[in-house]
A and B are shown apart, each in its own frame.
Chain A
Amino acid sequence: QQQVKQSPQSLIVQKGGISIINCAYENTAFDYFPWYQQFPGKGPALLIAIRPDVSEKKEGRFTISFNKSAKQFSLHIMDSQPGDSATYFCAASMNTGNQFYFGTGTSLTVIP
């Protein structure tokens, strides 16, 4: 059973456009929601993360929007660049156990 559901599976965006990736979860015990960025042949790296006590977090061109009542969170990449082309994973974890549950990933391609 997939604890975190991610969509879309792939995304193509023009340079300068906005990329939006969505995730949904069921377990209300989750209290930490990171996004990871992975380039081909590399391990994922933390991009940005949010706790459920805030509805939005912004770091540069990357923003997480969090909707606690809908149990959904999304990643917005503003002014998307070709260098942003990568696979993005959302994840969720809870205070106990230090376990992380990952979405299935979104392959983003930004066309010049």
Chain B
Amino acid sequence: DGGITQSPKYLFRKEGQNVTLSCEQNLNHDAMYWYRQDPGQGLRLIYYSQIVNDFQKGDIAEGYSVSREKKESFPLTVTSAQKNPTAFYLCASSPMIEPGELFFGEGSRLTVL
């Protein structure tokens, strides 16, 4: 089945540790995105990538990093510089056609203790 796989679904980490969230898609989509979801704030864009080896900062990129070495993979690292990392993280992809529907994974819930 085609789709987006995020792992892990739940993650607990101590303050000051970097964590990497995995996102893999087999939809052959060019564009991939990372969003952060907090109660009452909707979905906020962290990073997005439209092509391999290229990515752009979204509205809240500080404290996060990404890589896009393969078309199907777009991992997100939450660094110790992120001041409030506890959140629900959503990965999405879309084809590079207009309009491009966003397809979301099931999310990763990160809790920093």
Q: Which A positions have Cβ atoms within 8 angstroms of B?
A: 6, 9, 31-32, 34, 36, 41-46, 49, 51, 89, 91, 93, 95, 98-100, 102-105
Contacts and interface: CB of A to CB of B under 8 A. Distances in A.
Contact of A104 (B42, B45, B104): B42
Contacts of A36: 102, 104
Contacts of A100: 33, 45, 102
Contacts of A51: 99
Counting contact residues on chain B (CB < 8 A from A), the size range is: 20 to 34
B105 A43 contact: yes
Interface stretch (B14-22, B69-77, B78-86, B90-98): B90-98
Contacts, number: 62
Interface of B: 4, 6, 31, 33, 35, 40-45, 48, 50, 58, 90, 92, 94, 96, 98-107
The 9 closest A-B pairs by CB, nearest first: A43-B104, A32-B99, A104-B42, A102-B43, A102-B42, A43-B106, A44-B104, A105-B42, A43-B105
Contact of B40 (A42, A45, A104): A104
A42 to B, nearest CB: 6
Contacts of B101: 34, 46, 49
18 contacts: A6-B42, A31-B99, A32-B99, A43-B6, A43-B90, A43-B104, A44-B90, A45-B104, A46-B103, A49-B101, A89-B42, A98-B94, A98-B98, A99-B45, A100-B33, A102-B44, A104-B40, A105-B42
Given A34-B101, A44-B104, A51-B99, A99 B48 contact: yes
Contacts of A102: 35, 42-44
A52 to B, nearest CB: 11
Given A9-B40, A44-B102, 9 more contacts: A34-B102, A36-B102, A43-B92, A43-B107, A49-B99, A98-B100, A102-B43, A104-B41, A105-B40
